[in-house]
């Protein structure tokens, strides 16, 4: 199942960014029918009749005719997607079906397409099928479908966003789940082939040598982020590559410098895991005109493999990007599975905690700075908690507190694990353990993994006790044990009962044999 991790650092807020993009997209007004292109070939009389019939029946415009290239039922669902520019940017989609019976298709993120056209017998007119709640029912005998996803129209009507899409010049970007119609029952054994034409696209998947994508229906449930057009660069890591789409050029960095920055950021994951968790990840960089803030917004989607989007101020200077945390935070989400149900105290807590550890371990920050950042965040979280219990704070599930209470819990668990294993194992071993057990996990499996790494059962009892306590209970005592002291001059790190343990947190540690 898919889920989304979203981050906001508060400057500026997403609505402000959205407004900025809205005024800068330069989009043209388009019509609101499902398909507006003229037929490619002369119309046959039967086709003309079909158009007239469908126009009078539902008041919408029929798709371009004659019927699609895919007329026979094949062994794959076959998508042919065309990126078109007139009258506005849009995706025109043909789907050749692999099964002839009645079936239901679905937009995982509904609302972008109102009508899907079903083709059956070549002599019969295409049927206009209404999309209701994102869902469309195909009658028996349907061999292919067509629809149009009006990209610019939707961005204009709803405002730019990570799901609805954004645009700069001729390039467009959006979430696949908004435009890709997929079977409601999305079996991993149902084969999908997808062809794209009209623009250089970046999708989460690597194309086959012939240029198309060979997928399964399960890959379409959360199909990540998609870019059409824009610039491309690549960052190489040991055993992995980042394929990067840049929607518009950055003002003070060339494309190669953007990839260098992302490559160095991704390299910091190797202070937490021995190898990069995926052989290839797609990253979409969306520069926001007139803004110099490096980290405006970031999001990871659980496509297979996951994909990442970053809103970056187009005016950001190289040194500001080097000091940025948002790209690192998003990439650190690659180190844990998708938790079902969504459990931000685990997922956001882990990414927030390891952001500071990775920066210290890689030498990007001195350890004192990492502790200062953690303590500042814990203080923000404690202010938001206002004396409430951990359970109440988790129920509230509101940023930034949920991130920081999650980071505090990550620190507590890391310390417990290191105490239990004489500093030989830590929280990253829990993540390595889970990485070998599938792309999704549950809070219960997380607890079981903690017990497995600790070598004894303690999570359940620990968790039940913590839930009843104030959210940041025990912080001062923990810092004293670790030798972390806040002085008027800043953080001082001193010898203390657990200062060796603290040093093992700040140093690269060995991952377990999972």
Q: Which residues bind Zn ion (CB under 5 A)?
A: 5, 7, 348, 351
Q: Minimum Å distance from CB 136 to Zn ion?
A: 33
Q: Which is nearer to Zn ion, 4 or 445 (CB)?
A: 4
Nearest CA to 427 out of 505, 356, 366 is that of 505
Q: Minimum Å distance from CB 140 to Zn ion?
A: 45
Q: Minimum Å distance from CB 309 to Zn ion?
A: 12
Q: Report d(CA 491, CA 484) in Å as an integer.
A: 7
Kindly state the DSSP code that residue 439 receives in the 8-state scheme. S
Q: Minimum Å distance from CB 344 to Zn ion?
A: 8
Q: Minimum Å distance from CB 318 to Zn ion?
A: 24
CB-count burial class (<10 Å; 0-12, 13-18, 19+) for 101: exposed
Q: Is the dihedral of CA 96, 155, 212, 110 positive or negative?
A: negative
Q: To the nearest 10°, report the CA torsion of 175, 176, 177, 183.
A: 180
Which residue has its beta carbon closest to Zn ion? 5
What sections of 248-343 are H helices per DSSP?
Answer: 255-267, 318-322, 326-332
Contact assessment for residue 107 and residue 181, using Cβ atoms and an 8 Å cutoff: yes
Nearest CA to 221 out of 173, 184, 195 is that of 184
What 3 state SS string does 169-228 have? CCEEEEEHHHHCEEECCCCCCCEEEEEEECCCEECCCCCCCCCCEEEEHHHHCCCCEEEE
Kindly state the DSSP code that residue 23 receives in the 8-state scheme. H
Q: Which is nearer to Zn ion, 106 or 350 (CB)?
A: 350
Q: Minimum Å distance from CB 8 to Zn ion?
A: 10
CB-count burial class (<10 Å; 0-12, 13-18, 19+) for 512: middle
Q: Minimum Å distance from CB 334 to Zn ion?
A: 11
Nearest CA to 202 out of 256, 280, 136, 258 is that of 280
Q: Minimum Å distance from CB 325 to Zn ion?
A: 11
Kindly state the DSSP code that residue 190 receives in the 8-state scheme. S
Beta bridge partners of 168: 171
Q: Which is nearer to Zn ion, 243 or 348 (CB)?
A: 348
Kindly state the DSSP code that residue 251 receives in the 8-state scheme. S
Q: Which is nearer to Zn ion, 350 or 484 (CB)?
A: 350
Omega prior to 12 cis, within 30 of 0? yes
Q: Which is nearer to Zn ion, 7 or 9 (CB)?
A: 7
Contact assessment for residue 143 and residue 96, using Cβ atoms and an 8 Å cutoff: yes
Q: Minimum Å distance from CB 298 to Zn ion?
A: 7
Omega prior to 341 cis, within 30 of 0? yes
Two structure tokens written together for 468: 């009843």
Q: Is residue 158 classed as helix, strand or coil in its secondary structure?
A: helix
Q: Report d(CA 146, CA 429) in Å as an integer.
A: 48
Omega prior to 66 cis, within 30 of 0? yes
Q: Which is nearer to Zn ion, 193 or 348 (CB)?
A: 348
Q: Minimum Å distance from CB 398 to Zn ion?
A: 14
Q: Minimum Å distance from CB 336 to Zn ion?
A: 10
Q: Which is nearer to Zn ion, 54 or 352 (CB)?
A: 352
Q: Minimum Å distance from CB 188 to Zn ion?
A: 27
Q: Which is nearer to Zn ion, 7 or 193 (CB)?
A: 7
Q: Is the dihedral of CA 436, 438, 443, 445 positive or negative?
A: negative
Q: Is residue 62 classed as helix, strand or coil in its secondary structure?
A: coil
Q: Which is nearer to Zn ion, 281 or 448 (CB)?
A: 281
Give residue for tokens 């990067």. Answer: 244
What sections of 241-298 are H helices per DSSP?
Answer: 255-267
Q: Which is nearer to Zn ion, 88 or 306 (CB)?
A: 306
Q: Which is nearer to Zn ion, 7 or 152 (CB)?
A: 7
Q: Which is nearer to Zn ion, 106 or 331 (CB)?
A: 331
Q: Which is nearer to Zn ion, 228 or 403 (CB)?
A: 403
Contact assessment for residue 254 and residue 246, using Cβ atoms and an 8 Å cutoff: no
Q: Minimum Å distance from CB 329 to Zn ion?
A: 5
Q: Report d(CA 174, CA 164) in Å as an integer.
A: 6
């Amino acid at each position: 199942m898919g889920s989304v991790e979203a981050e906001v650092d508060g400057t500026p807020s997403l609505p402000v960014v959205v407004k900025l993009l809205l005024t800068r997209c330069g989009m043209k007004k388009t019509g609101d029918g499902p398909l507006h292109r003229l037929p490619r070939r002369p119309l046959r009389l039967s086709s003309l009749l079909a158009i007239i019939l469908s126009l009078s029946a539902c008041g919408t415009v029929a798709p371009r005719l004659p019927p699609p290239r895919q007329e026979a039922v094949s062994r794959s669902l076959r998508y042919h997607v065309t990126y078109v520019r007139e009258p506005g940017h849009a995706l025109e989609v043909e789907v050749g079906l692999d099964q002839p019976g009645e079936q239901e298709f679905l937009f995982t993120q509904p609302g972008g397409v109102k009508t899907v056209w079903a083709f059956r017998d070549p002599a019969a007119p295409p049927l206009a099928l209404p999309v209701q709640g994102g869902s469309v029912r195909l009658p028996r005998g349907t061999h292919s479908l067509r629809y149009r996803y009006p990209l610019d129209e939707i961005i204009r009507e709803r405002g730019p966003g990570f799901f609805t899409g954004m645009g700069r010049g001729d390039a467009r970007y959006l979430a696949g789940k908004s435009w890709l119609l997929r079977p409601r029952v999305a079996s991993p054994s149902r084969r999908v082939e997808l062809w794209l034409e009209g623009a250089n696209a970046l999708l989460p998947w690597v194309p086959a040598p012939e240029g198309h994508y060979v997928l399964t229906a399960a890959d379409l449930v959360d199909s990540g982020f998609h870019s059409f057009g824009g610039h491309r660069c690549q960052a190489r890591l040991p055993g992995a590559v980042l394929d990067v789409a840049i929607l518009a050029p950055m003002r003070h960095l060339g494309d190669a410098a953007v990839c260098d920055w992302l490559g160095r950021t991704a390299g910091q994951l190797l202070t937490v895991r021995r190898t990069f968790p995926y052989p290839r990840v797609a990253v979409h960089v969306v520069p926001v005109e007139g803004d110099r803030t490096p980290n405006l917004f970031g999001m990871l989607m659980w496509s297979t493999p996951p994909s990442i989007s970053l809103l970056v101020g187009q005016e950001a200077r190289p040194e500001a990007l080097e000091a940025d945390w948002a790209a690192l935070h998003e990439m650190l989400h690659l180190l844990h599975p998708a938790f079902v149900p969504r459990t931000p105290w685990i997922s956001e807590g882990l990414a927030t905690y390891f952001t500071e550890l990775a920066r210290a371990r890689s030498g990007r920050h001195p350890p004192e700075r990492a502790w200062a950042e953690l303590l500042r965040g814990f203080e923000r979280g404690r202010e938001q908690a206002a004396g409430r219990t951990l359970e109440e704070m988790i129920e509230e599930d509101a940023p930034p507190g949920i991130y920081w209470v999650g980071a505090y819990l990550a620190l507590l668990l890391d310390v417990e694990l290191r105490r239990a294993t004489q500093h030989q194992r830590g929280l990253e071993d829990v993540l390595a353990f889970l990485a070998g057990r599938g792309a999704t996990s549950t809070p219960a499996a997380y607890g079981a993994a903690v017990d497995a790494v600790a070598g004894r059962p303690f999570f359940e009892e620990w968790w039940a006790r913590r839930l009843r306590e104030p959210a940041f209970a025990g912080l001062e005592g923990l810092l004293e044990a670790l030798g972390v002291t806040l002085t008027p001059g800043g953080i001082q790190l001193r010898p203390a009962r657990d200062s060796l343990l603290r040093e093992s947190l700040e140093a690269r540690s060995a991952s377990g044999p999972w």
